[in-house]
Amino acid sequence: MSLEAIISYFSRRRWILLALCIITPLGLGLWFYDGPGRRWFNFYLTCSAYEILWCLVAFFFWPSKKNATPIALAVFVVTCGLEFLQLWQPAFLQQIRSTFLGMALIGTDFVWRQFAYYIAGTGIGWMLMRLLGQDDV
């Protein structure tokens, strides 16, 4: 591997980390927002931020543009699975959901409207991955 390729490899990851450092506090800010339109910010817009976050986390490990579509699809499918999992309410999952981390990672309530925001977030995540990814040779 040439020196130029190594520098490019780490430069891409630096940009991905910067994007993660922006989307993480943004998503948390949306979650805790308490002003006008609170419900929309807290329950819907956070879904888009959640998708973008997980796309970028996976992309950090596989930063090639060719991986953008498989990563985006995998994140979307897993997130949809987690959304449907919210229909199942066994005691052990309720106990997990009662914690902040459980609420943030697996959610608490099934809401059909959130799927539109998952799609939007996945699309934005895909565009960011295409923008930040290294060209495939």
Whether this model's pTM surpasses 0.95: no
Is-contact 55 123, C-beta < 8 A? no
| Alpha-carbon torsion (112, 47, 108, 70), positive or negative | positive
Is-contact 46 27, C-beta < 8 A? yes
The average pLDDT across 79-94 equals: 91
What is the tens place of the pLDDT at every residue in 43-85? 899 999 999 999 999 999 999 999 999 999 999 999 999 999 9
Residues above pLDDT 70, as percent of the chain: 94
Is-contact 64 137, C-beta < 8 A? no
Give the chain's end-to-end CA distance (angstroms, integer). 13
pLDDT number for residue 56 = 98
- pLDDT for 137 beyond 60: no
